[in-house]
A and B are shown apart, each in its own frame.
Chain A
Amino acid sequence: MSVQVIFSERGNILLGTVLEADMLDDRNIQAFSNGVMTCLRQCPQPNVLLNFESVKFMSSAVISELLRINEYCRQRAGELRLCGVRKQIFEVFQITQLDRLFSVVPEESADTALQRFERSIALRREAEAWNASENRNTDG
Chain B
Amino acid sequence: MATVYRKCIPAVCEAACELRKEAISLLEQRGWIRDESDRFAYWLSLEEALSNAIKHGCGGDASRMVELEIEDTVERVRIIVRDNGPGFDPDRVTLPDCRRPDGRGICLIRHYMDRLAYDPELGGLVMERVRRNAGDLPLSGGNTP
- Check if B5 is an interface residue, CB within 8 A of chain A: no
- Check if A133 is an interface residue, CB within 8 A of chain B: no
Contacting residues, chain A, for B95 (C-beta < 8 A): 96-97
What 1/0 flags go to B106-118 for Cβ under 8 Å of A? 0110010000000
Contacting residues, chain A, for B107 (C-beta < 8 A): 95-96
Contact-residue size bin, chain B (C-beta under 8 Å from the other chain): 20 to 34
- Check if B89 is an interface residue, CB within 8 A of chain A: no
Contact-residue size bin, chain A (C-beta under 8 Å from the other chain): 20 to 34
- Check if B37 is an interface residue, CB within 8 A of chain A: yes
B108 adjacent to A57 (CB under 8 Å): no
Contacting residues, chain B, for A39 (C-beta < 8 A): none
Contacting residues, chain B, for A64 (C-beta < 8 A): 101-102, 104
- Check if B26 is an interface residue, CB within 8 A of chain A: no
- Check if A20 is an interface residue, CB within 8 A of chain B: no
What 1/0 flags go to A1-12 for Cβ under 8 Å of B? 100000000000
Chain B nearest CB from A97 CB (Å) reads: 6
B108 adjacent to A26 (CB under 8 Å): no
| Bound: A68/B100 CA distance, A | 9
Tell me the chain B residues, 15-73 only, with Cβ under 8 Å from chain A.
16-17, 36-37, 40, 43-44, 47-48, 51, 54
Chain B nearest CB from A55 CB (Å) reads: 11
Contacting residues, chain B, for A92 (C-beta < 8 A): 44, 108
- Check if B14 is an interface residue, CB within 8 A of chain A: yes
Q: Which residue of B lies closest to A68 (CB)?
A: B101
- Check if B98 is an interface residue, CB within 8 A of chain A: yes
A95 adjacent to B16 (CB under 8 Å): no
Q: Which residue of A lies closest to B50 (CB)?
A: A26
Q: List 17 A–B pairs whose Cβ atoms lie within 8 Å, in order of A's numbering.
A: A22-B145, A23-B43, A25-B17, A25-B47, A26-B16, A56-B145, A57-B40, A59-B47, A59-B51, A59-B105, A60-B105, A61-B51, A65-B101, A88-B36, A92-B108, A96-B108, A98-B98
